[in-house]
Amino acid sequence: MKKWLTIVSAAMVVILAGLAAYALHPEKGIPAIPYEAIIKHLPFAAGGDLRYHITVHKPYKEWDKWPGKGEMYPGKEPHGALLTTYVNKTALDSIKKAKGMAEDSIIVKENYDSGKKLNAVTVMYKVKNYNPEGGDWFWAKYDPQFNILGEGKVEGCIKCHGSVKDNDYIFTGKVTGK
Ligand code: HEC
């Protein structure tokens, strides 16, 4: 009797483990819908969604840096004495083509003081039809803990970057034929 109990319970353990493995397996259980399939234009033009995208979904630290710019290159006011600028694949392609920045381009810039202390992270995200008068850029500023300090059609950002409107509001390098 005892032997049977052992066999039955062992069999149940095997079956349950199998069922669990089946259910939890990403390709067999409920199909995992890719984030890209749900939201065509990634992410939404909102500080929180953009933060999720650049820190969790596609961590910007794994992106390429702005071509020709290394880590902590010297910057100007107001951003910081030292800057490190990352670009997503779309932005990188656009910079290389130099015909303006394509939609879904994201540029993430870390702003450090002269003592290499991170002060803020500023982001430009090109969103189709978001703000045609402002080059369709969504602007965001985060503190080092990624709290949102500013987001959207931020007047200060647009005003200053507007001085390089012909270069698609970009200072760091030539990105248009103009
Ligand atoms: C007073 C002018 C000024 C203001 C205001 C300003 N920027 Fe900039 N920004 C610059 C300059 C100049 C650069 C080039 C890098 C450098 O030398 O600091 C730059 C570079 C950038 C870049 C890298 C891409 C590029 O354009 O070269 C991003 C991203 C950026 N700024 C985001 C922002 C955001 C977001 C805001 C608003 C919260 C903002 N900036 C406000 C002057 C400004």
pLDDT digit string, tens, across residues 134-147: 999 999 999 999 99
Ligand 1: atom nearest CA of 85 is 23
Q: Which residues line ligand 1 (CB under 6 A)?
A: 75-76, 78-79, 83, 85, 107, 109, 122-124, 139-141, 150, 154, 156-157, 160-161, 170-172
Q: Which of 118, 122, 84, 87 is nearest to 102 (CA)?
A: 87
The atom of ligand 1 lying closest to the CA of 170 is 26
**Burial (0-12, 13-18, 19+ Cβ within 10 Å), 148:** middle
Given the CA of residue 150, which atom of ligand 1 is nearest to it? 38
CA–centroid distance, 28 to ligand 1, in Å, is 47
| Mean pLDDT confidence for 53-81 | 96
Q: Decide: 139 and 151 in contact? Cβ < 8 Å.
A: yes
- Residue 124 near residue 107, CB atoms below 8 Å: yes
Question: Ligand 1 center to residue 7 CA distance, Å?
Answer: 69
Q: What is the CA radius of gyration of the chain?
A: 23
pLDDT, tens digit, 9 for 90 and up, residues 109-124: 999 999 999 999 999 9
Give the confidence band of 23 by pLDDT, cuts at 50, 70, 90.
low
pLDDT tens-digit readout, 79-99: 999 999 999 999 999 999 999
Q: If you measure from the C-alpha of residue 61 to the centroid of ligand 1, how many angstroms do you get, rounded to a whole number?
A: 19
Estimate to the nearest angstrom the gap between the alpha carbon of 128 and the chain centroid. 16
The minimum-distance atom of ligand 1 relative to the CA of 108 is: 29
* CA-nearest residue, atom 39 of ligand 1: 157
